[in-house]
Amino acid sequence: MGIKIVSTGSYLPDKVLTNFDLERMVDTSDEWITTRTGIRERRISEVETTSDMATEAAVRALGESSPEEVELIVVATATPDAFFPSTACKVQAKIENKGAIAFDVSAACTGFIYGLYVADSIMRSKGVSKALVIGAERFSKIVNWKDRSTCILFGDGAGAVYLETSDEEGILGFDLGADGSYGELLAVPSVGSNEEFPYYVRMKGNEVFKVAVRTMVDSALRVLEKTGLSPKDISLLIPHQANLRIIRAIAERLGLPEEKVFVNLDRYGNTSAASIPIALDEALRSGRLKKGELALLVAFGGGFTWGSCVIKV
Ligand code: COA
């Protein structure tokens, strides 16, 4: 038995916040942001909650498939609507499903790969045949809009994949891990800590940068080794959309040319756990990734966490 990504969907809020808008909010410039990150604009959710965005992405991924038949809903998010109920339970209610297993996964920007891994494992071992895995974030709510070193990076949005058991294998392998000793380099405290509200993203950007490149390259190489593949077998690298310089460094070390690397961070910034499923959806819809081709997904995030996955679409 295999597991296939049957369909995908994504949702981005309408409001666009450009680098020029940010120039009026903090001491920065379009030139600085574009050169250092590749980001030109990002989307900001004014009214949609994380679960609203997750639901819209899920509905688009489901297409004509019946929400009632979904047996498992996993939402990867660092910005849930509530401590509980989970975002997954909120999505479940909004798509009018009853009875599916539903829970959230917390692994920051690597959350979607972690979620995919958990769903894949449950489907293979517990006889679940239809699952939604969603990455959804409203980072605009946890960004300090006075901190120019972080507020320029993030955006809001959601992406979803619909998985079914299948005769064909669509999920070829994973590499996941974490190293909690790096926790303080990229963090958002919350109520369980001794820190005071408001809780904002804090980050040592240049230290994160170096570890991110090394860790994602290592993880990508490990998943290729585990699946018996080499970079030349990969039609499209879909990396977490954090920084264009990070993406280029990874592609260069894997020996992948620009046309084999998917980038949309210029339009959306870093949407954390939503970035890979949004990118995957866009890659499929635009024809950058075609039926039967292999894609390498690779992510890195707070924790630090990392994850890679090879899929055949
Ligand atoms: N506009 C203008 N100047 C800025 C700025 C901004 N938005 N943010 C920081 N600066 C300044 C700094 O204050 C510093 O000034 P100084 O030299 O006078 O002290 C200078 O720019 C360089 O700062 P530095 O942090 O060293 O820049 P950098 O080249 O490392 O780029 C990041 C900063 C955040 C873009 C980069 O480190 C990065 O992308 N890191 C990874 C972050 C990430 O992806 N996190 C999520 C991982 S999932």
| CATH number, residue 306 | 3.40.47.10
Domain membership of residue 175 as a residue range: 171-312
| 162 and 192, same domain (yes or no) | no
Ligand 1 center to residue 203 CA distance, Å?
10
Q: How far apart are the first and last CA of the chain?
A: 16
| 160 and 207, same domain (yes or no) | no
| Average pLDDT for 175-201 | 97
| 233 and 286, same domain (yes or no) | yes
- Burial class, 292, CB count within 10 angstroms (exposed 0-12 / middle 13-18 / buried 19+): exposed
Two structure tokens written together for 31: 């030139």
The CB of 269 under 6 Å from ligand 1? The reply is: no
User: What proportions of the chain, in percent to the nearest 5, are helix, strand and coil?
Assistant: 40, 25, 35
pTM score of the predicted model:
0.98
Looking at the predicted structure, is the pLDDT value of residue 159 above 90?
yes
Looking at the predicted structure, is the pLDDT value of residue 133 above 90?
yes
Catalytic residue among 19, 243, 264, 270: 270
| 151 and 177, same domain (yes or no) | no
Residue 80: is the preceding peptide bond cis (ω within 30°)?
Answer: no
Q: Where are the beta strands (DSSP E) in 167-200?
A: 171-178, 186-187
| 193 and 274, same domain (yes or no) | yes
Q: pLDDT tens, 94-120?
A: 999 999 999 999 999 999 999 999 999
pLDDT > 90 in the chain, percent: 99
The CB of 148 under 6 Å from ligand 1? The reply is: yes
Ligand 1 center to residue 227 CA distance, Å?
36
Active site residue 270: yes
| 179 and 139, same domain (yes or no) | no
| 154 and 181, same domain (yes or no) | no
Cβ distance 48 to 143 under 8 Å? no
Ligand 1 center to residue 255 CA distance, Å?
27
- Give the end of a domain, one of 166, 181, 199: 166
HSE, side-chain direction, 13 A CA sphere, residue 233: 16
Q: Which amino acid makes up residue 59?
A: V
- Tell me which H or E stretch contains 73: strand 72-76
pLDDT > 70 in the chain, percent: 100
| Average pLDDT for 196-202 | 95
- Give the end of a domain, one of 139, 166, 193: 166
Indicate which residue's Cα is closest to atom 11 of ligand 1. 149
The CB of 209 under 6 Å from ligand 1? The reply is: yes
Looking at the predicted structure, is the pLDDT value of residue 168 above 90?
yes
Pairing of strands 236-239, 101-105: unpaired
Two structure tokens written together for 205: 């950007």
Confidence at residue 277, expressed as pLDDT on a 0 to 100 scale: 98
- 161: three-class secondary structure by DSSP: strand
| 158 and 43, same domain (yes or no) | yes
| Average pLDDT for 187-203 | 96
Confidence at residue 152, expressed as pLDDT on a 0 to 100 scale: 98
Confidence at residue 23, expressed as pLDDT on a 0 to 100 scale: 98
Rounded-to-integer distance, Cα 310 and Cα 294, Å: 7
The full DSSP string for 92-158 is HHHTT--S-EEEEE--GGGHHHHHHHHHHHHHHHH---EEEEEEEEEGGGTS-TT-HHHHTTB-EEE
Confidence at residue 110, expressed as pLDDT on a 0 to 100 scale: 98
Looking at the predicted structure, is the pLDDT value of residue 21 above 90?
yes
The CB of 23 under 6 Å from ligand 1? The reply is: no
Q: pLDDT tens, 232-277?
A: 999 999 999 999 999 999 999 999 999 999 999 999 999 999 999 9
| Average pLDDT for 182-200 | 96
| 155 and 177, same domain (yes or no) | no
Active site residue 194: no
The CB of 151 under 6 Å from ligand 1? The reply is: no
Measured in whole angstroms, the distance separating CA 203 from the mean position of its chain's CA atoms is 18
The CB of 32 under 6 Å from ligand 1? The reply is: yes
- Give the end of a domain, one of 98, 133, 166: 166
Looking at the predicted structure, is the pLDDT value of residue 127 above 90?
no
Confidence at residue 38, expressed as pLDDT on a 0 to 100 scale: 98
- Tell me which H or E stretch contains 3: strand 2-11
| 22 and 154, same domain (yes or no) | yes
| 10 and 81, same domain (yes or no) | yes
Per the structure, the count of domains in the chain is: 2
Two structure tokens written together for 22: 């940010």
Catalytic residue among 19, 89, 97, 240: 240
Indicate which residue's Cα is closest to atom 26 of ligand 1. 206
Question: How much is the mean pLDDT over the chain?
Answer: 98
| 200 and 91, same domain (yes or no) | no
